[in-house]
A and B are shown apart, each in its own frame.
Chain A
Amino acid sequence: KAGVTQTPRYLIKTRGQQVTLSCSPISGHRSVSWYQQTPGQGLQFLFEYFSETQRNKGNFPGRFSGRQFSNSRSEMNVSTLELGDSALYLCASSVDGAYNSPLHFGNGTRLTVT
Chain B
Amino acid sequence: DQQVKQNSPSLSVQEGRISILNCDYTNSMFDYFLWYKKYPAEGPTFLISISSIKDKNEDGRFTVFLNKSAKHLSLHIVPSQPGDSAVYFCAASEWGAQKLVFGQGTRLTINP
Q: A43 near B89 (CB under 8 angstroms)?
A: yes
Q: A101 near B105 (CB under 8 angstroms)?
A: no
**Inter-chain contacts of B75 with A (CB < 8 A):** none
B25 to chain A, nearest CB (A): 14
Q: A90 near B99 (CB under 8 angstroms)?
A: no
**Inter-chain contacts of A56 with B (CB < 8 A):** 97-99
Interface size on B, residues (CB 8 A): 27
Q: In the complex, which of the residues B34, B94, B97 contacts A102, with contact meaning CB atoms closer than 8 Å?
A: B34
A87 at the interface (CB under 8 A from B): no
Q: In the complex, which of the residues A4, A42, A94, A102 contacts B43, with contact meaning CB atoms closer than 8 Å?
A: A4
**Inter-chain contacts of A45 with B (CB < 8 A):** 99-101
| Interface size classification for chain A | 20 to 34
**Inter-chain contacts of B93 with A (CB < 8 A):** 99-100
> Given the complex of chains A and B, what is the CA–CA distance between A106 and B38 in angstroms?
11
Q: In the complex, which of the residues B36, B49, B102 contacts A100, with contact meaning CB atoms closer than 8 Å?
A: B49
What is the predominant secondary structure among interface residues of chain A facing chain B?
A: strand
A97 at the interface (CB under 8 A from B): yes
The digit string for B70-112, where 1 denotes a CB below 8 A from any CB of A, is 0000000000000000000101011111111111110000000
A108 at the interface (CB under 8 A from B): yes
> Given the complex of chains A and B, what is the CA–CA distance between A97 and B98 in angstroms?
6
**Inter-chain contacts of B43 with A (CB < 8 A):** 4, 90, 92, 105-108
Q: Which residues of A contact B (CB under 8 A)?
A: 4, 31, 33, 35, 42-45, 48, 55-56, 58, 90, 92, 94, 97-108
